[in-house]
Amino acid sequence: MIELSADQQALQALARALGREADGKKLRRDLAKELRQALQPAVGEIKAGLMSIGSGGLPADGEPLRPAVARKIKAEARLSGRQTGARVRARRTEAVRGFRHAPKRLNSAKGWRRPVFGTGLWVVQLGKPGYFDDPLERRRGEFRTAVHKAMEDAAARIAASTQRR
């Protein structure tokens, strides 16, 4: 997982200022929404890269792997605590045929070991290394700019509301 965060102290200070405002909950919610929206293009690109991984073999019972992993990829924004910032996160996929760390393994250059049906042999299978990391790395500057813009917009709203009082 790659975390992209602006200056965490500045974002935490902004979140505290939002909490002191009369409509602080709404301002906080709007700031978090803007931070998540800044990451949405990368989320779409990550999901497209994931779905482009080839699939083969026999159909399995239950949900297919790629859509199950894609459903678990989300943009998150936290405005308090140690993990303050915006990030894209892929949660575990425990219910998909026991393949708990599928997002991580599909992105790994090492792949994972799995048994070959009916033979007792084990093989190493590769996903698509970089499907998750590469879009985030390419857009890092774009994300940083969007986070700073969202912070400046929230600060301007706080300043405007204090001037009206």
Phi, psi (5° rounding) for residue 124?
Answer: -95, 130
Pair 118, 99: CB distance under 8 Å = no
Pair 77, 84: CB distance under 8 Å = no
Chain mean pLDDT for the chain: 83
103-147 confidence digits (pLDDT tens): 999 999 998 888 888 898 999 988 899 999 999 999 999 988 988
Pair 153, 34: CB distance under 8 Å = yes
Confidence (pTM): 0.78
Residue span of the structural domain in which 49 resides: 3-164
Average pLDDT over residues 94-110: 86
Q: Look at the chain and report how many structural domains it folds into.
A: 1
Give the confidence band of 74 by pLDDT, cuts at 50, 70, 90.
Answer: very high
What residues contact residue 106 under an 8 Å CB cut-off, 6+ apart? 50, 53, 69, 127, 128, 131, 132
Closest Cα to residue 6, out of 87, 90, 91?
87
**More reliable by pLDDT, 10 or 144:** 144
